[in-house]
Structure formats: structure tokens, C-alpha cells
Structure 1
Amino acid sequence: MRLVQVLIPEGKQESVLTALDAQGIDYAVFDEVGRGDFEAMVQFPVPPSGVETILETLTDAGIQEHSYTIVLPTETVVSQRLSALTERFPGLRISREELYARAQDLAPANSTFFAFLILSTIIATTGLLLDSAATIIGAMVVAPLMGPAISASVGTILDDQRMASRGVTLQVTGLLAAIATAAIMGWLLQETILIPPDLDIRTIPQVAERTSPNFLSLFLALGSGLAGALSIMRGAGSALVGVAIAVALIPPAATSGLGLAFGLPGVAIAAAVLVLVNLLAINLSALILFYLSGFKPLDAGKFEGVKASVFSRIVVIAIGIAVLSIVLGAVTWTTFQAQSYEQQTKTELQQQFTQADLRGVELVRTTVDYEPADILLGNEPEVNVLIGISRDQTVPPDLAQQFDDHLTEQLGQDVAVRVGFIEEQVSEEEPPNPHLGGLRGVQGSPSGLRYYS
């Protein structure tokens, strides 16, 4: 429920009260004894979804922008007379005036915004290097990116170009600042003992997650944008939604900066693409939801022009996402192909060993070195096979080539196979169990490990 207080200009009291009576609003009127510009103040309760309608009615009755209209959230209203109003104004959507005020509150001052953004990036970069998901999530609580993302869409819908431009500017410059901060931090850390001198950041799972963007990343960004818009319209959970928006933007921006710092352009570009896709998706989903919710400009006469502007912006953002989705599609497809090949290779080799039923020979482990980038570059998969074999067992000299020929025939792709052997000793009381992940009773040493390729 909202409590609306309106100062009535001189000569407008009768028309204002008549308009409220026509709407079935219960109100209280107080004489105004201020400077003389207003003759009375009227206040009345109304559900959130009815504020916009009532204010439009009061505008037609003579309440202009130079008057004072205050909308206050109420903790509790005790009255049996409110049921009729609640039935008349169902729903939870706030008025465009409240939406505008909330969007302004969400966009902090520039100094505050960049201070929190840089601190968030520093924490997130530390979390990436430590491979700590908890640290990264903690950094997202600090990140102030929800405000600019929402204010850009609100400014577009309500035809406030200044708010929209500031929201877009803060998002773009903020993410560029995040990339630069992570790059500087990564470069400085390389000169210290805090990280190993030969560290390959591509092997860190939290970094690798941001360098292989696929369509699932797009769903995260779209969901975050919708949740952000919904939380503002309903006034619930905005802090937690801000974390979700930051998760889609800050970690990949920090990853891109680390790629620059460590001289890995592939990492920097892949993470930057993820940042850009997520940024566009968040703005697109929020803009569409605000439009579908029926918000119109504060000046009703500008609705048609704003409608065309919103549609054009939606089309431009959608085209940008579609172009960048080519990259997401390529990564998604190649990742699926690489993982499918790995699974098929392991299955084929396991079946070959099972059918052979060789005594004293055990398939210990199979690994496949085949990345999405290898598919795009046309590189052959590399298969490493580790076999446990008795000391007196004879090893076929062309075993690696046999595996190569079998996999090439079954999977239809050239492959490079490398076979390693571990000499084993097995006690008579407890024979080896082929279902275990390794060897029972194995005595291995560097001299007992042989490779054939």
C-alpha cells in the first residue's frame, strides 16, 4: 500500500477532490499555511498498481510538475475500506514515477561506482587465481553493476536520455576499468612470489570456465536481466539479483585482464566476448520486460516516438547478440564434439580389452587430449593409454598402432596413440579387480614404466 500526499495549487482544490471522488478514493484534506502557492494538501492510501492511474487523473485535474506529489510506502494500513481499492487495482507493478525514482537511487555517484567496481575486480581476480568460487561470489556482493544496467533500460522506456546515456556509459567504462584493473594486478603479481613463475592460468578451472563461453552463459545473462527488472518493479531481492548480474560480468572481465597480463590473447578475447554477450543480454532482457509491463514516458505525448526508439534499440542489441552467438555456437559445438569423442574413445578401448579377455593385462587409465580449439584448428586427438601388465607378459610391438587403426576405423578420425605400461605383481590370495580405478598389488617404479607410440 502507498500513501500519496499532494499539495493542491491555488484554485485547483475543487477539481482535484472531484477527480478523487470519481475514482472512489478516500482522502483527507488539510489547509496549507505555507508560502501561499498552495491552498491545501490532500493525502490518501492506494495500492501500488493504482498510483500511476490516480496520478494521471490528478494531472488532468490540474496538478502539474511544479506542485509537490509525494508517494510513501506504508508499513501497515488497518481498514476494512481498502478491500474495494485492492480489487480495483490488482497486481504488484509500481508506478512509472516510483520506477524512475528507484532507478535514480540505484545508479551511484561516479566516484562511488568506480571505487566499488575496482575493489570488486581486485577481489574477483584474487578468487580466480586462487580458484576459489567463494571468493568470487564475495566479490560480486561489492560490485555495483545492477544500477547502471537497470537505469539504462528505465531511461530508455521513460524517455530520459540523460539517465539512459549515463547507464550505458557507466556499464561500458566500468567493464573496461575492470579489465584494466585485472591486467595491472596480474602484471604486478607476476613480479612477486605470490604466484608460481611458470603458472599457466588456462589450467585454473575458474579461469577456464570463462574462456569457453557457450549458450548456457547466455541464459545466465538473460535470466539476470529479467530478475533485475522484476526485482525493481516488485521491490524485492534487488541486492541478491545484483550479485547475479555481477557474476555474469565481473569474473569474465577479470579473466580478460589476466589474459592480457599473462600474454595470452586467446584467453583475453574469449573472456571479452563473454563479457560483451552478457552485457547485451542483460540490457535486452530488462528492456523487453519493462516494455511489456506497460511503462510509458512521463510525458504521454512522447509515447509513439519512444516506442519506435525502444524497438530500434531492441533490434540493434538482438543483432549484436546474434553475431556474437556465432562464437558461442562454435564453442558449444566444438565442446560437445570433443567431449563426445573422449567418451567414445574410452568406450571403444574398454570394449576392446573386455573382448580380448587377456590374463595378466589390465587397462588402468585412458586419457584423451582433445580441446575445442583442436577441432577448429584441425589438430589430431592424442590418446594416452596406461596398461598394467605382468612382468613375464610379452608386449606386442605394434600395440599402439593397433589401437590407432581400431579408433580410426570406428570413429572415422585420425588419431595419435601413446601406450604406457606398468609392470605389476599380483598376490595369489587376491587377484586383480578390473573394476577398480587402478592396480591392486602393483609395484611400480620409473624403470617399470615403458611407453610405445
Structure 2
Amino acid sequence: MLHLRLIVPADRTDDVVRLLEGTVGATHLIVMPGAAREPAGDVVLCDVAREAGDGLLGELRALGLDEHGSIAVDDIGLSLSKRADRAEAEAPGEGADAVLWEHLTDATHEESTLSVTFLAFLTIATMIAACGVVLDNAVLIVGAMAVGPEFGPLAGLCTALVRRAPRLAARSGVALIVGFVVAMVLTTGFSVLMDAFGLFSRDLLDADRPNTDFIWKPDMFSFVVAVLAGIAGTLSLTSAKSGALVGVAISVTTVPAAANAAVALGYGEVEQMVGSSEQLLLNLAGIVVAGTLTLLVQRWLWARRG
């Protein structure tokens, strides 16, 4: 269930109330006349089944509430109410299959913005992965993949392609490109510094690395895994099952590939640098293609059910 808190201009309250009363899956309607001060208006509260949420949000925006009032939506963790149970049963479809497009766009907008925090996480993850590839340490590689924040802008790019949102696409693309360039440049400097302290060496990079040499040797399995991870990651976002994102993060080698390319660049190892870059691009492409197709299929299935 979703909880909606609406600030409604007084002259539109009747329209909003009629809309909520006529929405299958909506219940627990509360109207508080004149309760809002900024912006001024009435406060309307209600609960709605998740599967009815996207259509309702679209109609509320059509009434101008996003411009002249406010629409706030929260997930309800627990609702002990027979009315709520009945509302969920009456709403068409299953809540787990419903996509809240407004929520998805808002969430990916925040996660795909280039910021100091995003750059810091991506750079730190790449440096951890650099230690992992030089030491052939799979634990460090997994840790680096879990820390990396790159799925946010990837999801933003998928959402932008499906919703035809050029601004979100541009923001996501800038975050990815600038983020990886900055992280790789700083990691190259980090590897040079580690070499100066005797902690990294060319011999370690060129030695047999049975645990991590796959990072710079891309093959079709790399693309297949990226596609599967893109599907799983998109489903975890649209179904609000964010726990699956951790598994997605440690399934693809975007950050380790960037790290291996950065270290190889520091030592002038062209073959490893090229291979790692191909691995990085292959993973990014696989996630974007799979994520976009997943969203398109979800939209098509939900439209047919509606």
C-alpha cells in the first residue's frame, strides 16, 4: 500500500475527493480543510494499492496538484485494516508487478546526478579494485563492486530512454562518463603512488592472476552476465526490492575493469588497458540494453492488463 499526502487548492478539493473516491484500490480518505499554510489549501490523505498508484498519480498531476499544491507518496510498511486488504484485492494486478513511473524517475534522477559523493564512492571503489587486481584478491574485487554507485546513472539512462526524457539521459550520461574518467585518472595516480612505496609493481600486474585475469579478457559470458544483472537490477528498482541491488552490483565487473585499465595505464600495459576498457564498455552496454528492454516489457504488460 501507498500513503498519499496531498495539499490541494481549496477550489480543486472537490475534484480531488471525487477522483479518490472513484479510484479502485483507494481507501482511508481524510480531508482537513484549510490545514495547509505553505502552499495554502486543504490537506487530503488517503491510502491506495500500489497497483493503482501510477494511474492515480497521473490523474492528480493532470489536476495541477504538482504545480499548485503538493503530492507526497510513502510506502506503508504495515497496514492492519480490512478496508486496506479489500482495496488491494479490488485493484487490478499485483502490487509487486506495478511500476510507479513517477517514483522511478524521481529516484533515478537523484541517483544519476553527478556529485562529489558519487565521485568519491566511485573513485574509492576503483582504488579498492585496483588493490584487488594487483594482489589477485577476489575479496577486494567483490568489495569494490559492492561499493561502486554506477548502477544509479545506468538505471537513469534506461528510464530516460523509455520515458523519452532527454534531460535525465544527459544527466545520467554525464555522471557515467565524467565519473569513470575521474575515477580512472585518480586511480592511475594512486597506482603510481603505490608503486613508489613498493606496494604495487609491474611484475604483480603481469603475473598469473587466476582470480582476476578475467577482468581484462572479455568474452560473451561478460555480456550475458551484464544482461542478466541489468534485468535483475531494473526489477529490483521497479518492485521496491532494493536488496537485490547488492547482488547486481557484485555480478558485473564495471568497477574492476576500470581499475585494471587505470593500473595498466600507469605501467603502459596497452594490452591489459584495451582489454579492460572493452570489458567495461561491454558491461555498461549490456546493463543499459537489458534494463531498457525490461522497462519496455513491464510497461507493455501493465498496459495490456489495464
The question of a shared fold, defined as TM-score above 0.5 by the shorter chain, is answered with yes
C-alpha deviation, 1:19, in angstroms: 2.1
Match of 2:20 in 1: 20
Tell me how far apart the structure 2 counterparts of residues 126 and 89 of structure 1 sit (CA, whole Å).
Answer: 51
| Residue pair 1:7, 1:40 contacting (<8 A) in 2 also | yes
C-alpha deviation, 1:250, in angstroms: 0.8
Matches within 5 A, 1:225-240: 225-236=230-241, 237=243, 239-240=245-246
Match of 1:85 in 2: 87
Tell me how far apart the structure 2 counterparts of residues 85 and 195 of structure 1 sit (CA, whole Å).
Answer: 61
Unaligned runs of at least 5 residues, structure 2: 301-306
Match of 2:78 in 1: 76
Match of 2:303 in 1: none
Q: Are residue 243 (structure 1) and residue 245 (structure 2) matched?
A: no
How many residue pairs align between the two structures?
A: 294
C-alpha deviation, 1:154, in angstroms: 1.8
Corresponding residue SS for 1:23 = coil
C-alpha deviation, 1:155, in angstroms: 2.7
Q: Larger C-alpha radius of gyration, 1 or 2?
A: 1
| Residue pair 2:32, 2:43 contacting (<8 A) in 1 also | yes
C-alpha deviation, 1:28, in angstroms: 1.5
C-alpha deviation, 1:196, in angstroms: 5.4
| Residue pair 2:133, 2:205 contacting (<8 A) in 1 also | no
Match of 1:410 in 2: none
C-alpha deviation, 1:167, in angstroms: 0.8
Match of 2:304 in 1: none
| Residue pair 2:119, 2:183 contacting (<8 A) in 1 also | no
Matches within 5 A, 1:390-405: none
Tell me how far apart the structure 2 counterparts of residues 244 and 84 of structure 1 sit (CA, whole Å).
Answer: 40
Match of 1:49 in 2: 51
Matches within 5 A, 1:237-386: 237=243, 239-241=245-247, 243-244=249-250, 247-294=252-299
C-alpha deviation, 1:35, in angstroms: 4.3
Matches within 5 A, 1:179-194: 179-194=184-199
| Residue pair 2:137, 2:212 contacting (<8 A) in 1 also | no
| Residue pair 1:145, 1:242 contacting (<8 A) in 2 also | no
Matches within 5 A, 1:432-451: none
Corresponding residue SS for 1:194 = coil
What CA RMSD, in Å, does the superposition of the two structures yield over aligned residues?
A: 2.4
Corresponding residue SS for 2:82 = coil
Unaligned runs of at least 5 residues, structure 1: 296-453
Seen in structure 2, the aligned counterparts of structure 1 residues 240 and 75 have a Cα distance that, compared at 3 Å, is: same
| Residue pair 2:135, 2:204 contacting (<8 A) in 1 also | no
C-alpha deviation, 1:129, in angstroms: 1.1
C-alpha deviation, 1:126, in angstroms: 0.6
Tell me how far apart the structure 1 counterparts of residues 108 and 39 of structure 2 sit (CA, whole Å).
Answer: 30
The residue type equivalent to 2:4 in the other structure is V
Seen in structure 2, the aligned counterparts of structure 1 residues 10 and 36 have a Cα distance that, compared at 3 Å, is: farther
Of 275-284 and 19-28, the range deviating more from structure 2: 19-28
Cα deviation digits, residues 397-445 of structure 1 (max 9, x gap): xxxxxxxxxxxxxxxxxxxxxxxxxxxxxxxxxxxxxxxxxxxxxxxxx
Cα deviation digits, residues 188-226 of structure 1 (max 9, x gap): 333343245644525222442122211111111111211
| Residue pair 1:6, 1:70 contacting (<8 A) in 2 also | yes
Q: Are residue 214 (structure 1) and residue 201 (structure 2) matched?
A: no
Cα deviation digits, residues 57-106 of structure 1 (max 9, x gap): 33455645322111111122121122332122332223112112221332
Tell me how far apart the structure 1 counterparts of residues 127 and 117 of structure 2 sit (CA, whole Å).
Answer: 16
Which of residues 29, 32, 49 is equivalent to 1:30? Answer: 32
Q: Are residue 5 (structure 1) and residue 37 (structure 2) matched?
A: no
Match of 1:451 in 2: none
Seen in structure 2, the aligned counterparts of structure 1 residues 264 and 98 have a Cα distance that, compared at 3 Å, is: same
Q: Are residue 204 (structure 1) and residue 209 (structure 2) matched?
A: yes
Cα deviation digits, residues 335-375 of structure 1 (max 9, x gap): xxxxxxxxxxxxxxxxxxxxxxxxxxxxxxxxxxxxxxxxx
- Point out which structure has higher relative CO (alpha carbons under 8 A, 6+ apart): 2
Query: Between the two proteins, what is the percent identity of the paired residues?
Result: 23
Seen in structure 2, the aligned counterparts of structure 1 residues 160 and 193 have a Cα distance that, compared at 3 Å, is: same
Tell me how far apart the structure 2 counterparts of residues 4 and 223 of structure 1 sit (CA, whole Å).
Answer: 34
Seen in structure 2, the aligned counterparts of structure 1 residues 191 and 101 have a Cα distance that, compared at 3 Å, is: same
Match of 1:94 in 2: 99
Tell me how far apart the structure 2 counterparts of residues 283 and 213 of structure 1 sit (CA, whole Å).
Answer: 17
The residue type equivalent to 1:90 in the other structure is G
Seen in structure 2, the aligned counterparts of structure 1 residues 117 and 57 have a Cα distance that, compared at 3 Å, is: closer
Corresponding residue SS for 1:186 = helix
The residue type equivalent to 1:130 in the other structure is L
| Residue pair 1:225, 1:283 contacting (<8 A) in 2 also | yes
The residue type equivalent to 2:250 in the other structure is A
Scaled by the length of structure 2, the TM-score of the pair is 0.86
Tell me how far apart the structure 1 counterparts of residues 169 and 206 of structure 2 sit (CA, whole Å).
Answer: 37
| Residue pair 2:36, 2:42 contacting (<8 A) in 1 also | no
Match of 1:140 in 2: 145
The residue type equivalent to 2:7 in the other structure is L
Of 49-58 and 200-209, the range deviating more from structure 2: 200-209
Matches within 5 A, 1:103-142: 103-107=108-112, 110-142=115-147
Which of residues 141, 160, 175 is equivalent to 2:180? Answer: 175
C-alpha deviation, 1:148, in angstroms: 1.1
Seen in structure 2, the aligned counterparts of structure 1 residues 5 and 262 have a Cα distance that, compared at 3 Å, is: same
